[in-house]
Amino acid sequence: MSLAWENGGLTFLLDGAAVWSGEMAAPSGLLGLLAQKQSHLEVGRFEVGGTPQPATITWGWREGLLGAAQRLSDWKEVADPGARCGAYVASTRAGLQMKWNIEGTGFQIWAPAGPGYGTAEVLVDGISVGTLNTRSDERNASAPRFKMENLAPGRHTINLRTKEKSVALDCVEILLF
């Protein structure tokens, strides 16, 4: 079996013979093989062409709330098609937290910014590393507002602690390696 992406189209081949083709752009993102329990998969060759891109995974604000054992009622969900996760949340008081346990070498925190929003302390592995600022004179769409690179490869904990009543948050994008 093989897949070939060329000129905006995908061709699915079995034993070298095309069995299906159609329009489909080559997606960006992670690539892997998945075999279900009680199945058998033998790979003779796994070849990928193209320009290497950083491997990232995105975790939304819900994972952050669950990781910090926070009550959803302490956060206000705001539907926003411009948010990476389709919605973002804003804290309802200072002192609230979000927490993600990650494995990677860096991350970006995405959030909208605007009047009435404030700041949160960012901690990595329990050490304060900076401030997430979601305050702006004008409403701005979700974008990377805090970035950290060059973490030692391995497991890390990202914590956010709101310093002010209302801090907006969309998601965290993790650089896997």
C-alpha–C-alpha distance, residues 101 and 78, integer Å: 24
Q: What are phi and psi of 72, to 5 degrees?
A: -60, -30
pLDDT at res. 102 = 95
Q: What is the pLDDT of residue 75?
A: 96
Amino acid of residue 99: K
pTM of the model: 0.77
Whether 144 contacts 74, CB under 8 Å: no
- Tens of pLDDT, residue by residue, the chain (177 residues): 788 878 888 898 888 899 999 988 766 777 777 788 888 888 888 777 778 878 889 999 999 999 999 999 999 999 999 999 899 999 999 999 999 999 999 999 999 999 999 999 999 999 999 999 999 999 999 999 999 999 999 999 999 999 999 999 999 999 987
Contact assessment for residue 72 and residue 62, using Cβ atoms and an 8 Å cutoff: no
For 130, left (φ over 0), alpha (ψ -120 to 50), or beta? left
CATH code reported for the domain at 56-175: 2.60.120.260
